[in-house]
Amino acid sequence: MPLVHLSDMLKHASHHHYAVGAFGVVSLDFLEGVLQAAEACRSPVVLNLIESHFAYYDFATMMPAVLSAASKVSVPVAVNFDHGSSLERAEAAIRAGCNSVMVDTSALRFSDNLWQTREIVAMAHSYEVTVEGELGYVPGLEGLSAEHHPSDLTYTSALEAAGFVERTGVDCLAVSIGTIHGRMKGIPKLDYARLAKLRDSTLIPLVIHGGSGLSDDQYRKLVANGAAKINFFTALTDAAERSIKEYFSSNRKYGYPQVVAGVRNAVRAETLRCLQICGAGGRAAEVLAQCRPWKATSNSEGF
């Protein structure tokens, strides 16, 4: 307890018109901060292990800590391998204990994205693992500024999305409706009508990447128009950075452990804010009662 199938968790969110927060975890202080926040507001939560971050921590060392921490909380948790680079890496992540995978094939042509996603679905579903596909392109890199865009945003087409979902069998779909990864310059213009159309045409839970930096009103409109999972990382890393800066500008009485504790508290506060805006607070008991529990196993060979 209490890992649950992400597909079940997201169906519950979709059905009850709220969104689950998925939070990028890069260290133990992030892991503890996110889980403490979910406990505090009785919310289901997703821990995101983002492959591009594996340059900064050892995934094989982190996964046992993630699974151990998740097993100790009383709210439902899912562990997602996010923005994977290949089917092989996704399979290794599943063996290490992730119960959801997202392999990022969204920059490919439609037909190539569809073909590769089908193969990932076949592999992951053989383990009963949830698969998130992505159609359209959300530019940028998690935790960096907007000028790091590899290319322009491509909006998701509702017509293409319906066929993509039907032909791939993905459990949830990341869509591009105006958000970007990282820190955005200016005010993001979000296409809520497109999001609602995507919800009605695909009939599966929709995911928003690049969730940091929006206004409370924008989050509420995303949820009202069909977002069932919103990914956050930049908001957490900015909160961590502010906490470190404040610590060093105000006093240097203590040492590194106090800095780490400050980061954990900052991540907890920001996660709590995000979960509450998404409407996920107080939903833990219902999700636990209605979602299939996941049996965790871990073998980190391959990473």
24 vs 281 by CB, closer to Zn ion = 24
Alpha helices in 59-109 (DSSP H): 59-72, 87-96
CB of 250 to Zn ion, least distance (A): 34
93 vs 296 by CB, closer to Zn ion = 93
Of the candidates 218, 149, 221, the residue with the CA atom closest to the CA atom of residue 181:
149
- For 56, the token pair is 């900064």
209 vs 268 by CB, closer to Zn ion = 209
- For 14, the token pair is 């979709």
Interaction residues for Zn ion, span 82-111 (CB under 5 A): none
CB of 68 to Zn ion, least distance (A): 26
41 vs 184 by CB, closer to Zn ion = 184
CB of 216 to Zn ion, least distance (A): 21
Interaction residues for Zn ion, span 201-220 (CB under 5 A): 209
The Cα 20–Cα 231 span in angstroms is 9
Of the candidates 207, 123, 206, 121, the residue with the CA atom closest to the CA atom of residue 169:
121
CB of 106 to Zn ion, least distance (A): 9
CB of 27 to Zn ion, least distance (A): 19
CB atoms within 10 A of CB 297: 12
In sequence order, which residues have a C-beta less than 8 Å from that of residue 100 and are 6 or more positions away? 6, 7, 46, 78, 79, 80, 81, 129, 130, 131, 132
Q: Using CB atoms, what's the residue nearest to Zn ion?
A: 209
Q: For strand 206-208 and strand 172-175, is the pairing parallel, antiparallel, or unpaired?
A: parallel
Residue located via tokens 């900015």: 238
89 vs 209 by CB, closer to Zn ion = 209
209 vs 283 by CB, closer to Zn ion = 209
Residue located via tokens 């949820």: 223
Q: How many residues does the chain have?
A: 303
User: Sign of the CA dihedral 181, 9, 89, 67?
Assistant: positive
Binding of Zn ion at residue 11 (CB under 5 A)?
A: no
CB of 209 to Zn ion, least distance (A): 3
Q: Which of 8, 29, 82, 171 is the catalytic position?
A: 82
In sequence order, which residues have a C-beta less than 8 Å from that of residue 20 and are 6 or more positions away? 9, 10, 13, 43, 44, 45, 46, 228, 229, 230, 278, 280
The Cα 119–Cα 289 span in angstroms is 32
> Is there a catalytic annotation at residue 217?
no
Q: Which residues are catalytic?
A: 82
Q: Which residues sit at the interface with Zn ion, rule CB under 5 A?
A: 209
